């Protein structure tokens, strides 16, 4: 059975973290990772940053092969970053175990990861790899998906998780709101009604699998 681990790691402990230096209130979300030959092209959202200085600083890093601006919103920019993954022991260790990065967020001097491993042995091998290469892992949580078709221990489907994470990241639940379901629907390329329904079901699943767990009335 697959196992999911949540861990935190200092930005200076892996190559991508060293490449994407953050300052002030800047945060970075890893959107997705696309392998292209011997390189890896992650799409990253950069929040609350001076776009030009971030580009200049990142492009000057020795591991960066190309940095392309994809889209710009009010407080965030989407970049495609082409770099050599061979220099990064963290991503190399994840790839060696055929693990899947579910989420990765950089903030301040550290990054938070959520990674799915095929089984507990592959996770153990990854931890040994990190120890051998000097990577400092702070493991926060280890758990198994609760049901087939879910991506976390909270009963969420992949689409529900995607919609809910996007809503939170875009400030839909902030006061005042920084985005609308229409804007989220545009990013997901689905209807406004579909977004509303996914968010409703996602919240229902979260409450059912957290707050209602062990409730005698249920």
User: Does 60 lie in the same domain as 121?
Assistant: yes
User: Does 123 lie in the same domain as 73?
Assistant: yes
pLDDT confidence of residue 33 = 65
- Whether the CB-CB separation of 92 and 38 falls below 8 Å is answered with no
For residue 148, the SS3 value is: coil
pTM: 0.64
Q: Tell me the per-residue pLDDT of 24-55, one tens digit each, with 9 for 90 and over.
A: 678 898 876 654 444 566 888 888 877 888 88
| Domain count along the chain | 2
- Whether the CB-CB separation of 17 and 10 falls below 8 Å is answered with yes
- Token digits of residue 152: 């976390």
- Whether the CB-CB separation of 102 and 94 falls below 8 Å is answered with no
Least confident of 82-86, 103-107, 207-211: 207-211
Which residue range(s) make up the domain with 200? 158-209
- Whether the CB-CB separation of 101 and 78 falls below 8 Å is answered with no
Residue 149: inside a domain: no
- Whether the CB-CB separation of 63 and 21 falls below 8 Å is answered with no
pLDDT at 130 exceeding the cut of 70: yes
Q: Tell me the per-residue pLDDT of 170-217, one tens digit each, with 9 for 90 and over.
A: 999 988 889 999 999 999 988 888 899 889 888 887 776 666 544 444
Percent of the chain topping pLDDT 90: 22
Higher pLDDT, 147 or 187: 187
Residue 216: inside a domain: no
Omega cis (within 30) before 176: yes
């Amino acid at each position: 059975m697959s196992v999911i681990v949540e861990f935190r790691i200092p930005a200076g402990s892996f190559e991508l973290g060293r490449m994407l230096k953050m300052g002030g209130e800047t945060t970075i979300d890893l959107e997705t990772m696309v392998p292209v030959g011997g390189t890896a092209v992650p799409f990253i959202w950069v929040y609350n940053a001076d776009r030009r200085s971030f580009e200049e600083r990142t492009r000057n890093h020795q591991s960066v092969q190309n940095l392309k601006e994809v889209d710009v919103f009010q407080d965030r920019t989407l970049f495609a970053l082409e770099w050599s993954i061979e220099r990064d022991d963290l991503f190399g260790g994840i790839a060696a175990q055929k693990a899947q990065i579910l989420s990765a967020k950089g903030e301040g001097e550290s990054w938070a990861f959520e990674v799915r491993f095929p089984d507990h042995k592959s996770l153990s091998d990854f931890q040994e790899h990190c120890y051998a290469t000097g990577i400092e892992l702070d493991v926060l949580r280890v758990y198994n998906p609760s049901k087939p078709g879910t991506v976390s221990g909270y009963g969420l489907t992949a689409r529900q998780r995607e919609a809910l994470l996007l809503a939170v990241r875009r400030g839909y639940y902030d006061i005042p709101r920084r985005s609308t379901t229409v804007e989220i629907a545009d990013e997901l390329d689905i209807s406004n009604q579909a977004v509303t329904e996914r968010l409703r079901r996602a919240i229902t699943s979260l409450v059912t699998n957290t707050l209602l767990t062990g409730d005698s009335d249920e």
